[in-house]
Structure 1
Amino acid sequence: MAIQLSKGQRIDLTKTNPGLVKGLIGLGWDTNKYQGGSDFDLDASAFLVDANNRCQNDLDFVFYNNLEHPSKSVIHTGDNRTGEGDGDDEQLIVDFSQIPAHVDKIGITVTIHDGETRHQNFGQVSNAFVRLADEATGEELLRFDLGEDFSIETSVVVCELYRHGSEWKFNAIGSGFSGGLASLCRNYGLDV
């Protein structure tokens, strides 16, 4: 049975699950029905950052236009432009054995594509979650439901995977940003 996390909680990943090599990170959400004239397009991304919380280059940013890190440590399985249906809307696969030595942390984020232009924000999103499963067995190890704490934000740092010695841990973040993907990129040291 998966462990249910609360905002701010941290948990061991590789230490308590010694056979875990690849983690499947599933992200899901629902959009509240409203007459805004535009569909919602939410996008999952991963920022592979060093000890200074900075991406060393653009390739350390995995998203819908760069689906795979050169190390093959993080792979985005593809952009879901509608979010329709139940379960995961987008997925990332993290291979803990392939993460480069310079990567100290992986920030997992969700943004609303063109949120400012379309007047869309996370106050209009419900049932958002992240879950982590063992990719080899399909067993769900943990889940973090984001709750309804957002209003004007157009991007959210959902969680972080971070290095602790030779092990990897999971941190349930749930922190919102305004300014969409561009503000997240600047936060992680990338030029926009």
Structure 2
Amino acid sequence: MAISLAKGQKIDLTKGNTGLSSLLIGLGWDPVKKKGFFGTKTPNIDCDASVIMLNEAGKLESKHDVIYFGNLKSQCGSVRHTGDNLTGDGDGDDEQILIDLHKIPSRIHSLQFVVNIYQPVQRRQDFGMIENAFIRIVDNKTNSELAHFNLTENYSGFTALIPGEIYRHNGEWKFNAIGQGTRDTSIGEIANKLV
């Protein structure tokens, strides 16, 4: 049964679960529906999920360590993005990232997950226009959900979110429910701060 996490909560993923090697990270969100004179209107908001692979110092060593819609697979083969969802419509995960824990190079100590709005300034959009955002961690072999974190805060004015990260600690992999909003306008802007 999945653990429902609160902001700032950390859990062990591999301790006591020695067979865990393949994860599916599901990220989801819905545009807020607005009621108008002629019915309900749903804005077209394109959110993009990404992963930034960081070293022990929390730094990004290479542009190839940013996995997003323009670079769907890490060079080491440990992280794979399944593709871009342009609308966020529908139930369940909007974008998914597959992780092979055994293939992650020893130089990588954390995988930071990011969701940002595509062209937020030009489109005048922010996360105040998004609801039901979540990140979930699934054992990809058994299809059992290990953890689920709903981002319930008001993120108005923010154009990117860091829902969480998977990180190494004492030889085990853990998940940290971060839930932090930023005003960065692209994954490149976020990545440049981590160089």
Q: Cα deviations across residues 85-132 of structure 1 (Å, max 9, x unaligned)? A: 100000001110000111011100100000111110011110000000
8 Å Cα contact 2:115-2:161 kept in structure 1? yes
Within 5 Å, which residues of 2 pair with 1:109-128?
Answer: 109-128=114-133
Residue aligning to 2:142: 137
**Cα distance in structure 1, aligned partners of 2:129 and 2:153:** 9
Deviation at 1:186, TM superposition (A): 2.1
Counterpart CA distance in 1 for 2:121 and 2:161 is 14
Contact 2:137 2:146 in 1 (8 A): yes
Unaligned runs of 5+ in 1: none
* Residue 28 of structure 2 is aligned to residue 22 of structure 1: no
Aligned length: 189
2:100 is equivalent to residue 95 of structure 1: yes
Distance 2:119 2:183 in 1: 12
Runs of 4+ with deviation above 4 angstroms? 34-38
TM-score w.r.t. length of structure 1? 0.94
Higher Rg of the two aligned structures: 2
User: Superposed, which structure 2 residues align to 1:45-124 within 5 Å?
Assistant: 45-124=50-129
CA distance in 1, matches of 2:180, 2:163: 7
More displaced 10-residue stretch of structure 1: 36-45 or 67-76: 36-45
Please state how far the C-alpha of 1:149 moved relative to its aligned partner: 2.4
Measured on the aligned residues, the alpha-carbon RMSD in Å equals 1.6
Contact persistence 2:74–2:80 (CA under 8 A): yes
Unaligned runs of 5+ in 2: none
